[in-house]
C-alpha cells in the first residue's frame, strides 16, 4: 500500500495499490513499442508537444503547487516558482534540442566524418519527493526531446504528484507510452532495472540508494546518471558585505524547501574576524521568517516532509550540541501537530559532529570559522560530497585562485548554488556522476555515434 500523507496535519490523504506484475509488464511492452515510433518523429513534432506541455504546466500552477503542499509540505508561497521553472525547462529544450543534437561534423582524413546522437530507448527515472515536479521534468524533458521514452518510479510519499505528471504528458497529446508512471515500492526496483527493455537509469536521491542502483546497473552494464547528496560549503571572506551575504546564506540554506535540498548550502565557513557579525545577521534573518501552515501564502517555512526526517534532524542537532556545538537560535521542533522544525543556527561547529560530517536535510545553519585562505579551501573540501559550493569575496583574483581547488560540480561566486535549464548540473565524489540539464544533460541518454565515409 502506498500512502499520500499531509506532513502538516499528519493525516493520510489517499492510499494507492501498487501495480501488479501483469500491469507492469503491459507498461513495459507499451514503452518499448512507443520508443520504436517516437524515435522516428522529427524535432519539430517533439518541440510542438513540449511547448504545449510548458503551457499546460503554467495553466495548472495553482493545482500543482497545492499537490506539492499537501503531499510533502512545500509552501504555497514558494510552490509556483518551481512550476514556472518546469515550464521554462520545456521551452528551453523545445527551442534548442535540435541544434544541440545536430550532427557534429569533424575534419579528418576521411571523405566525410561526423558524430550523430541517437536515442537509447526506455529510460527509468527513480525520483525523490523534495521537488516532486521539477526533479521529474528535469529528467523527462531532455530525454524525451532526444527521442527516448520515460518510466517514472517516484518517491512513495508523492503518488498524487506522480499521477499528475503522467496526466500532463497525456493531456497535451504525447503518444501513449512515451511517459508512464509506475506505482512501485522500492523493493521492486531492482527487478525493473534488470529488465532488458530498460536501457538506462537516472536517480536523484540518497547516497545509499545511488550505491544500490549503481551496483545493479553495473551488473547489467547499463548507463546510469546519479545525482545524490550534498554538504555544500558556503565560504564567506571578511571583505564582503556581511549583511548581504547573510541574506543570501539563509536563502541558500532553505532553498524554498525548509533546507530539504541536495543543493542547499549546509556548511557555512566564515572568516573568524566576521564570524560573530555573520551569526547575528543570520539569526536576524531567520527571526523574520514565519513557520506554520504551508497552505497560507504568507508562511515562509512549512513542515519537513516526513516524521523520519524530523527525527533525524532532531538527532543531528541534539548529538552535535552534546559534543560541544552551541545552539544560538532555534534547536527544537515546533509544538503541535505536523513535522515542523524551527530554523536553527549553531556555532562552535567542528569536525566529528553530525552537523559538520553529515548531510542535514532541514533548516539548520552550522557556522565553522577559518583564519586563512588555505584553511577555507581545506574546510570546503572536507566532505565526502561534491555537489556545489559558494564563495563570497570582493577579490576576484582570490576567487579565481580558489575555484580550481574546490571539489564540486558547481561553484558560484557571490551567489547561491541553483540549477538552471541552460547549464549542466551534477556532482563528483559521493554526490554522484553524470550531468543533467544544458547541452551535456541531454547527451547523457544518447548513443554518441561516430560515422565516416571513405
Residue 84: its pLDDT value, please? 98
DSSP string, 69-123: HHHH---TTTHHHHHHHHHHHHHHHHHHHHHHTS-EEE-SSSSEEEEEEEE-SEE
C-alpha cell at 61: 500552477
Region of 152 (left: φ > 0; alpha: ψ -120 to 50; beta: rest) is beta
Question: Residues 202, 71: one domain?
Answer: yes
Domain membership of residue 425 (yes or no) is no
Question: Residues 33, 76: one domain?
Answer: yes
Question: Residues 166, 81: one domain?
Answer: yes
Residue 123: its pLDDT value, please? 98
Question: Residues 116, 173: one domain?
Answer: yes
Question: Residues 265, 394: one domain?
Answer: yes
Catalytic residue among 32, 262, 358, 359: 262
pLDDT tens digits for 34-70? 999 999 999 999 999 999 999 999 999 999 999 999 9
Question: Residues 13, 41: one domain?
Answer: yes
pLDDT tens digits for 363-376? 999 999 999 999 99
Question: Residues 52, 186: one domain?
Answer: yes
Query: With bands split at pLDDT 50, 70 and 90, how would you rate the model's confidence at 381?
Result: very high
pLDDT tens digits for 292-338? 999 999 999 999 999 999 999 999 999 999 999 999 999 999 999 99
Q: What is the CATH number of the domain that holds 376?
A: 3.40.309.10
| Cβ neighbours of 161 (radius 10 Å) | 24
Residue 326: its pLDDT value, please? 98
Domain membership of residue 241 (yes or no) is yes
pLDDT tens digits for 282-291? 999 999 999 9
What does the buried/exposed string (b/e) look like for 47-86 if buried means 16 or more CB atoms within 10 Å of the residue's CB?
A: bebbbbbbebbbebbeebbbbbbbbbbbbbbbbbebbebb
Question: Residues 284, 358: one domain?
Answer: yes
Query: With bands split at pLDDT 50, 70 and 90, how would you rate the model's confidence at 181?
Result: very high
Residue 289: its pLDDT value, please? 98
pLDDT tens digits for 50-60? 999 999 999 99
pLDDT tens digits for 253-275? 999 999 999 999 999 999 999 99
Per the structure, the count of domains in the chain is 2
Question: Residues 119, 248: one domain?
Answer: no
Average pLDDT over residues 416-431: 97
Q: What is the CATH number of the domain that holds 16?
A: 3.40.605.10
Question: Residues 216, 236: one domain?
Answer: no
* Domain region containing 326: 232-420
Which CA distances in Å does 41 have to 144, 174, 321?
A: 11, 11, 59
Question: Residues 398, 448: one domain?
Answer: no
Residue 81: its pLDDT value, please? 97
Domain membership of residue 276 (yes or no) is yes
In the chain, count of helices (H) and strands (E)? 15, 20
pLDDT tens digits for 383-411? 999 999 999 999 999 999 999 999 999 99
412 is a catalytic site residue: no
Question: Residues 46, 143: one domain?
Answer: yes
Domain membership of residue 426 (yes or no) is no
Catalytic residue among 227, 275, 358, 444: 227
Amino acid at each position: 500500500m502506498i500512502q499520500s500523507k499531509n506532513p502538516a496535519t499528519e493525516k493520510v490523504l489517499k492510499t494507492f495499490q501498487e501495480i501488479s506484475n501483469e500491469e507492469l509488464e503491459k507498461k513495459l511492452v507499451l514503452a518499448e513499442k512507443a520508443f520504436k515510433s517516437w524515435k522516428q518523429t522529427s524535432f519539430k513534432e517533439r518541440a510542438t508537444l513540449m511547448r504545449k506541455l510548458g503551457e499546460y504546466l503554467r495553466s495548472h500552477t495553482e493545482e500543482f503547487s497545492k499537490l506539492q503542499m499537501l503531499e510533502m509540505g512545500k509552501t504555497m508561497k514558494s510552490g509556483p516558482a518551481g512550476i514556472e521553472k518546469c515550464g521554462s525547462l520545456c521551452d528551453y529544450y523545445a527551442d534548442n534540442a535540435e541544434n544541440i543534437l545536430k550532427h557534429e561534423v569533424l575534419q579528418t582524413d576521411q571523405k566525410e566524418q561526423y558524430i550523430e546522437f541517437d536515442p537509447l530507448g526506455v529510460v527509468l527515472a527513480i525520483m525523490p519527493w523534495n521537488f516532486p515536479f521539477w526533479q521529474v521534468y528535469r529528467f523527462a524533458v531532455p530525454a524525451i526531446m532526444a527521442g527516448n521514452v520515460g518510466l517514472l518510479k517516484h518517491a512513495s510519499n508523492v503518488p498524487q504528484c506522480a499521477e499528475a505528471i503522467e496526466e500532463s504528458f497525456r493531456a497535451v497529446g504525447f503518444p501513449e507510452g512515451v511517459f508512464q508512471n509506475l506505482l512501485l515500492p522500492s523493493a521492486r526496483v531492482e527487478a525493473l532495472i534488470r529488465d532488458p527493455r530498460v536501457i538506462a537509469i537516472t536517480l536523484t536521491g540518497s547516497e545509499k540508494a545511488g550505491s544500490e542502483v549503481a551496483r545493479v546497473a553495473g551488473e547489467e552494464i547499463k548507463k546510469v546518471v546519479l545525482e545524490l547528496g550534498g554538504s555544500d560549503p558556503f565560504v564567506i571572506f571578511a571583505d564582503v558585505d556581511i549583511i548581504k551575504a547573510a541574506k543570501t546564506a539563509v536563502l541558500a540554506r532553505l532553498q524554498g524547501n525548509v533546507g530539504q535540498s541536495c543543493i542547499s548550502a549546509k556548511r557555512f565557513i566564515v572568516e573568524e574576524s566576521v564570524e560573530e557579525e555573520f551569526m547575528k545577521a543570520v539569526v536576524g534573518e531567520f527571526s523574520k521568517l514565519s513557520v506554520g501552515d504551508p497552505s497560507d501564502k504568507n508562511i515562509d517555512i512549512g513542515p519537513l516532509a516526513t516524521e523520519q526526517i524530523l527525527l533525524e534532524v532532531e538527532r543531528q542537532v541534539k548529538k552535535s550540541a552534546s559534543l560541544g556545538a552551541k545552539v544560538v537560535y532555534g534547536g527544537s521542533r515546533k509544538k503541535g501537530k505536523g513535522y515542523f522544525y524551527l530554523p536553527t543556527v549553531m556555532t562552535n561547529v567542528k569536525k566529528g559532529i553530525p552537523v559538520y560530517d553529515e548531510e542535514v536535510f532541514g533548516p539548520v545553519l552550522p557556522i565553522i570559522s577559518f583564519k586563512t585562505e588555505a584553511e577555507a579551501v581545506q574546510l570546503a573540501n572536507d566532505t565526502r560530497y561534491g555537489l556545489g559550493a559558494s564563495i563570497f569575496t570582493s577579490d576576484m583574483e582570490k576567487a579565481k585562485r580558489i575555484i580550481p581547488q574546490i571539489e564540486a560540480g558547481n561553484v558560484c561566486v557571490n551567489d547561491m548554488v541553483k540549477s538552471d535549464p541552460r547549464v549542466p548540473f551534477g556532482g563528483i565524489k559521493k554526490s554522484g556522476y553524470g550531468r543533467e540539464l544544458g547541452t551535456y544533460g541531454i547527451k547523457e541518454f544518447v548513443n554518441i555515434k561516430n560515422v565516416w565515409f571513405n
